[in-house]
Chains A and B, each alone.
Chain A
Amino acid sequence: EIVLTQSPGTLSLSPGERATLSCRASQSVNFNYLAWYQQKPGQAPRLLISGASSRATGIPDRFSGSGSGTDFTLTISRLEPEDFAVYFCQQYGGSPPWTFGQGTKVDIK
């Protein structure tokens, strides 16, 4: 089973600042099948990025994903008020189980 470790646990930033979230895998992620999701309280997760760097439909270009192998990053170039949420990474596409990181909370400083 691939274990994903996200850091930091909490990121306290102000609107307009840049957010950099990390996701590290215990072994190489097959074909870089790494997704990022955003979740707000009481809501379902929302796909932001798939395949490590492809933005999902309707996702603003301030969200970008990068990385390969075992190290991946989600960057939010300029935080908008609606971006304060919890972000999860997930590896998929290889053999199950497909696993998630524990999440990074981006909150308002």
Chain B
Amino acid sequence: EVQLVESGGTLVKPGGSLRLSCEASGFTFNTYSMNWFRQTPGKGLEWVSYISRSSSVLYHVDSVKGRFTISRDNAKNSLYLQMNSLRAEDTAVYYCARNIETAMGGADYWGRGTLVTVSS
């Protein structure tokens, strides 16, 4: 059974940093690209970042470029999102998701999410 478990979400002050983690199990992690998505009541669902199987291709949505970095450790079956210079508008539930096999950016399995709150 595919399982994705996020951790690291918490309350952080504007300008602060946070690192989200996602531990994967139930599939061969290094054969799948991965994504981070986020969701807020106001903006709905938003794709945030994508990383290819070997980390050779990285994409981030414009609103987080230069502030967030996606990475992975295939030996640890883990995905990460380093979040710097956090803003109030980054407040959201962040989901780790396995990329669909056929094309970038779709997701066939999602974790339960971790809540990031940016507030003073």
Contacts and interface: CB of A to CB of B under 8 A. Distances in A.
For the complex, would chain A's binding face be called helix, strand, loop or mixed by DSSP majority? loop
A41 to B, nearest CB: 12
Interface string A23-59: 0000000110101000000011111001100001100
A45 B104 contact: no
Interface in B81-107: 95, 100, 102-107
A99 B111 contact: no
Q: Could you say which interface size class chain B belongs to?
A: 20 to 34
A92 B61 contact: no
Contacts of A60: none
Q: Could you say which interface size class chain A belongs to?
A: 20 to 34
B95 to A, nearest CB: 6
A50 B100 contact: yes
Given A50-B108, A97-B62, A90 B102 contact: no
